[in-house]
Amino acid sequence: MFSLNWLLSISFIYMKHPLTLGFILLTQIILMSLSSGLLYYNFWFCYIIFLVMISGLLIMFIYMTSIASNEKFNMPKLNNTLILFIIIMIMMISMIMMDKFYFNMNGNYLTNQSYSLLFNNLSLSKFYSMPHFYLTISLMSYLLLTLIVIVKITEIQKGPLRQK
* Lowest model confidence (mean pLDDT) among 39-48, 103-112, 117-126: 103-112
Distance CA 147, CA 149 (A): 6
Is 43 a member of any domain?
yes
pLDDT in tens, 35-48: 777 776 667 777 88
Is 29 a member of any domain?
yes
Is 132 a member of any domain?
no
Residue 89: other Cβ atoms inside 10 A: 14
Distance set, CA 109 to CA 115, 116, 154 (Å):
10, 10, 57
pLDDT of residue 53: 85
Average pLDDT over residues 142-152: 81
Compare 62 and 109 and report the one with higher pLDDT.
62
pLDDT of residue 87: 72
Is 158 a member of any domain?
no
pTM of the model: 0.49
Query: What average pLDDT is seen over the chain?
Result: 70
Whether the predicted pLDDT of 30 surpasses 70: yes
pLDDT tier for residue 110 given thresholds of 50, 70 and 90 = very low
Domain membership of residue 10 as a residue range: 2-124
pLDDT in tens, 132-145: 777 778 878 888 88
Distance set, CA 104 to CA 24, 113, 121, 132 (Å):
32, 13, 21, 28
Distance set, CA 105 to CA 41, 115, 148 (Å):
18, 14, 50
Is 108 a member of any domain?
yes
pLDDT tier for residue 109 given thresholds of 50, 70 and 90 = very low
pLDDT of residue 118: 54
pLDDT of residue 137: 80
Is 164 a member of any domain?
no
How many structural domains is the chain composed of? 1
Is 34 a member of any domain?
yes
Distance CA 162, CA 72 (A): 19
Average pLDDT over residues 77-84: 65
Is 144 a member of any domain?
no
Average pLDDT over residues 97-106: 54
Say if residue 6 is exposed, middle or buried (CB neighbours under 10 Å; 0-12, 13-18, 19+).
Answer: middle
